[in-house]
């Protein structure tokens, strides 16, 4: 139990959540880490961050602070007797904030773009933009570190935290796409910095293992689709993320099935069942909102898989007909929505 | 007091982001050289001082360039902290001011694309845009509450971050035929209070001039 009334709402794979955790470690401040369940948002989260409904949220004496870098600045200013996180000089501070903004607005979206890229050319273009960004950051590192170990010079600071939290995902992206992003020959300063950062006592315990993160990354799209399947409003608001996730799953399917019919190979397995039972929902929702979720052009392998799954003897008798399901949905959904808003 | 000799602001007169710096520098009584940029023909100085984004505003102080409007505001507030501080002193209140200023910037992208749809969209698209636009300002109204300014009794960080956008209200209202005052009376009242302050009224262009600029832009982009 923390000495302060300090709670952090978060999740272990999130790089944004890692930022306040590192900052609190630097200040040696204890806190309760409340882990959000993937795919759901706790009442406390919705109450504490009504604007964005996202983690991390720091709750200090019942008062919430949102947005990871704003939380880091709060931690720095509130516990100002501990080692400082932001540089004291106004210009150095402006530089640190500038690059942190660049990382959040341009660099990390580019990194995420590698996974989302479809086709070799798109992947190559996405990879190049990430490496270009790293070259810019190498320069920033030289200027900020002035020959010392970190952006914050002799100790970890704001910009170290802003960039370092993405090292896990950088390694996972390298692993899953067979790429080299942090290249010792291209960005030697950052390469060494990455090692020093991960070894630091404030970071070690909160940096997830690459292998664990890789497994989480591989199945993120599936977990997101299943989470969305539980709520009709999400798909109505934005079908595109679901379609994007299905495209990512197409890739996962090809890797798992190894040219066989199912995720489980020759016969239906766990993942087939997990995803397959939502095929009825996907067809109905797609029909109701005039969105093609199972698009043969976009996800040909999953499209074929869906046919094979529904034709399987274990599934045929229990899979409801789409029209029957659509009729039931028409009657039930308005009632569910009315109940939810009352 | 910190010297004000070497202060240059690279700016563009209709830019809400540039207006923020003009207000802050005026409130703190800092003399500076204002350099107007032509965004269709950027100066070598701009390209050098903001090589990453090539955007205004850029503050040049003692030869150092500071970019990104909220980062510039924090810099100005820290360097010239004794006169008219914009951020409150308590860490929690500072975090809230930063949160709302960041919210404005995040929503700006939405406002900007919404704004364009508001003044150049048609029918259903324009209606949807108006709705999104109003929702953002209603949220900010909620945050203002019954305070005179977001900063309390004096202008604060969030006031300076937000008030420039109000110079564009007339353009949105005229192009899309709606009244922001009817939907968000508290916010418009707040904007009028801000305009009573000389440092604000001297820093913002007249809404009719913004409208003339919008018409020019629409013509240039073939949207009129």
CATH 3.30.300.30 fits A210-341, yes or no: no
Gap between the Cα atoms of A284 and A328, Å rounded: 10
Q: How far is CA A93 from CA A21, A96, A201, B116, B136, in A?
A: 21, 5, 24, 34, 30
Inter-chain touch A90–B99, beta carbons under 8 Å: no
Q: Which of A100-104, A239-243, A269-273 has the lowest mean pLDDT?
A: A239-243
Angle of the A322-341 helix axis to the A279-288 helix axis, nearest 10: 70
| Tens-place pLDDT, residues A189-221 | 999 999 999 999 999 999 999 888 887 777 777
DSSP letter string, B57-68: -EEEETTEEEES
Q: Which of A75-89, A229-243, B15-29, B109-123 has the lowest mean pLDDT?
A: A229-243
Q: How far is A87 from chain B (nearest CA, A)?
A: 12
Q: Tell whether B109 is within 8 A of chain A (Cβ).
A: no
Question: Which of A38-52, A59-73, A236-250, B96-110 holds the top average pLDDT?
Answer: A59-73
Instruction: Give yes or no for residue A334 having a pLDDT over 80.
Output: no
Q: How far is A53 from chain B (nearest CA, A)?
A: 13
Inter-chain touch A94–B99, beta carbons under 8 Å: no
Chain B residue with minimal CA distance to A72?
A: B95
Q: Where exactly are the structural domains of chain A?
A: 3-78, 90-199, 210-341
Chain A residue with minimal CA distance to B142?
A: A51
Whole-number pLDDT of residue A284: 76
Whole-number pLDDT of residue B120: 67
Inter-chain touch A98–B71, beta carbons under 8 Å: yes
Specify the length of chain A in residues: 342
Give the number of A-B residue pairs with CB atoms closer than 8 Å. 54
Q: Tell whether A135 is within 8 A of chain B (Cβ).
A: no
Q: Which of A58, A89, A98, A158 has the most B C-beta neighbours within 10 Å, making it the best mutation to test the interface with B?
A: A98
Inter-chain touch B74–A74, beta carbons under 8 Å: no
Paired with B11 in beta bridges are: B36
Q: Tell whether A129 is within 8 A of chain B (Cβ).
A: no
B65 — phi, psi (to 5°)? -105, 135
Instruction: Give yes or no for residue A39 having a pLDDT over 60.
Output: yes
Q: Tell whether B91 is within 8 A of chain A (Cβ).
A: yes
**CB-CB neighbours of A324 under 10 Å:** 11
Paired with B64 in beta bridges are: B61
Inter-chain touch A78–B92, beta carbons under 8 Å: yes
Q: Tell whether A215 is within 8 A of chain B (Cβ).
A: no
Q: Tell whether B102 is within 8 A of chain A (Cβ).
A: yes
B139 contacts in A (CB within 8 Å)? 51
What average pLDDT does this structure show over A280-293? Answer: 76
Sign for the pseudo-dihedral over CA of A289, A294, A297, A298: positive
Q: Tell whether B71 is within 8 A of chain A (Cβ).
A: yes
Would you state the CATH architecture of domain A3-78?
Answer: 3-Layer(aba) Sandwich (3.40)
Average pLDDT along chain A: 88
Instruction: Give yes or no for residue A94 having a pLDDT over 60.
Output: yes
Please report, rounded to a whole number, the percentage of residues in chain A having pLDDT higher than 70.
91
Specify the length of chain B in residues: 224
Q: Tell whether A4 is within 8 A of chain B (Cβ).
A: no
Chain A residue with minimal CA distance to B106?
A: A105
Q: Nearest by CB to A74, which of B64, B72, B91?
A: B91
| Tens-place pLDDT, residues A158-184 | 999 999 999 999 999 998 888 999 999
Inter-chain touch B78–A74, beta carbons under 8 Å: no
Question: Which of A229-243, A317-331, B37-51 holds the top average pLDDT?
Answer: B37-51
| Tens-place pLDDT, residues B36-51 | 999 889 999 999 999 9
Inter-chain touch A98–B67, beta carbons under 8 Å: yes
Q: Which of A52, A64, A80, A90 has the most B C-beta neighbours within 10 Å, making it the best mutation to test the interface with B?
A: A90
Sign for the pseudo-dihedral over CA of A75, A78, A80, A86: positive
Chain A residue with minimal CA distance to B53?
A: A102
Q: Tell whether B63 is within 8 A of chain A (Cβ).
A: no
Fold match flag (A90-199 vs A210-341): yes
Inter-chain touch B74–A94, beta carbons under 8 Å: yes
Q: Tell whether B12 is within 8 A of chain A (Cβ).
A: no
Q: Tell whether B54 is within 8 A of chain A (Cβ).
A: no
* Protein fold of A90-199: Glutathione S-transferase Yfyf (Class Pi); Chain A, domain 2 (1.20.1050)
| Tens-place pLDDT, residues A127-146 | 999 999 999 999 999 999 99
Gap between the Cα atoms of A302 and A312, Å rounded: 15
- Dihedral in degrees, nearest 10, Cα atoms A106, A112, A117, A122: 40
Burial group, residue B118, by CB count within 10 angstroms (0-12, 13-18, 19+)? buried
Instruction: Give yes or no for residue A24 having a pLDDT over 90.
Output: yes
Q: Using 70 as the pLDDT threshold, list the residues of chain B that sit under it.
A: 1-5, 111-116, 118-121, 223-224
Please report, rounded to a whole number, the percentage of residues in chain A having pLDDT higher than 90.
56
Contacts of B24 (CB under 8 A, 6+ apart): B73, B76, B77, B86, B160
DSSP letter string, A117-179: --SHHHHHHHHHHHHHHHHHHHHHHHHHHTTSSBTTBTS--HHHHHHHTTHHHHHHHHHHHT-
Q: How far is A319 from chain B (nearest CA, A)?
A: 39
Q: Which is more confidently placed, A341 or B107?
A: B107
* pLDDT band with cut points at 50, 70 and 90 for residue A1: very low
Q: How far is A71 from chain B (nearest CA, A)?
A: 7
Q: Tell whether B103 is within 8 A of chain A (Cβ).
A: yes
Q: Tell whether A272 is within 8 A of chain B (Cβ).
A: no
Whole-number pLDDT of residue A238: 59
Which tokens in the block code for residue A28? Answer: 């040696």
Burial group, residue A88, by CB count within 10 angstroms (0-12, 13-18, 19+)? exposed
B143 contacts in A (CB within 8 Å)? none
User: Number of C-alpha atoms within 13 angstroms, CB side, residue B220?
Assistant: 7
Q: Which of A293, A276, A273, A296 is nearest to A285 (CA)?
A: A293
């Amino acid at each position: 139990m923390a000495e302060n009334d300090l709670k952090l709402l978060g999740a272990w794979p999130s790089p944004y959540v890692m930022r306040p955790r590192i900052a609190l470690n630097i200040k040696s401040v204890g806190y309760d880490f409340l882990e959000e369940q993937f795919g759901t948002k706790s009442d406390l989260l919705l109450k504490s961050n009504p604007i964005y409904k996202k983690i991390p949220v720091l709750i200090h004496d019942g008062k919430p602070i949102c947005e990871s870098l704003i939380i880091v600045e709060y931690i720095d200013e509130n516990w100002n007797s501990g080692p400082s996180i932001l540089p004291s000089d106004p210009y150095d501070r402006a530089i640190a904030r500038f690059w942190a903004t660049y990382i959040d607005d341009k660099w990390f979206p580019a990194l995420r773009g590698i996974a989302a890229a479809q086709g070799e050319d798109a992947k190559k273009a996405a990879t190049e933009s990430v490496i270009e960004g790293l070259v810019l950051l190498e320069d920033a590192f030289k200027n900020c570190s002035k020959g010392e170990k970190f952006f914050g010079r002799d100790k970890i600071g704001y910009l170290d935290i802003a960039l370092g939290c993405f090292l896990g995902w950088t390694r996972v992206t390298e692993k899953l796409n067979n790429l080299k992003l942090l290249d010792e020959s291209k960005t030697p300063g950052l390469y060494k910095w990455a090692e020093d950062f991960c070894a630091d006592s404030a970071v070690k315990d909160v940096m997830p293992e690459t292998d664990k993160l890789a497994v989480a990354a591989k199945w993120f799209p599936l977990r997101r689709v299943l989470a969305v399947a539980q709520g009709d409003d999400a798909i109505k608001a934005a079908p595109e993320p679901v379609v994007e996730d299905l495209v990512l799953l197409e890739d996962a399917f090809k890797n798992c099935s190894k040219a066989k019919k199912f995720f489980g190979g020759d016969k239906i397995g766990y993942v087939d069942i997990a995803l397959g039972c939502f095929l009825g929902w996907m067809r109905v929702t797609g029909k109701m909102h005039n969105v093609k979720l199972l698009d043969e052009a976009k996800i040909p392998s999953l499209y074929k898989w869906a046919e094979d799954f529904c034709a399987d003897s274990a599934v045929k008798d229990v899979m409801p007909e789409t029209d029957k399901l659509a009729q039931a949905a028409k009657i039930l959904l308005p009632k569910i929505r009315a109940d939810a808003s009352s | 007091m910190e010297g004000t000799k070497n202060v240059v602001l690279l700016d563009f007169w209709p830019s809400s982001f540039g207006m923020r710096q003009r207000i802050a520098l005026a409130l703190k009584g800092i003399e500076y050289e204002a350099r107007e940029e032509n965004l269709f023909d950027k100066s070598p100085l701009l390209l050098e001082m903001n090589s990453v984004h090539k955007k205004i505003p850029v503050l040049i102080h003692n030869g150092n360039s500071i970019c990104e409007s909220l980062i510039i505001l924090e810099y100005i507030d820290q360097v010239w902290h004794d006169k008219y501080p914009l951020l409150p002193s308590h860490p929690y209140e500072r975090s809230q001011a930063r949160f709302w200023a960041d919210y404005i910037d995040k929503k700006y992208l939405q406002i900007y694309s919404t704004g364009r749809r508001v003044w150049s969209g048609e029918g259903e698209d324009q209606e949807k845009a108006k709705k999104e636009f109003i929702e953002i300002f209603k949220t900010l109204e909620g945050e203002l509450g019954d305070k005179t300014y977001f900063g309390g009794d004096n202008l604060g960080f969030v006031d300076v971050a937000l008030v420039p956008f109000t110079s564009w209200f007339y353009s949105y209202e005229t192009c899309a035929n709606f009244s922001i005052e009817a939907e968000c009376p508290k916010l418009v009242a707040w904007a009028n209070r801000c305009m009573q302050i000389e440092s604000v009224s001297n820093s913002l262009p007249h809404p009719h001039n913004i409208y003339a600029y919008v018409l020019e832009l629409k013509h240039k982009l073939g949207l009129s």
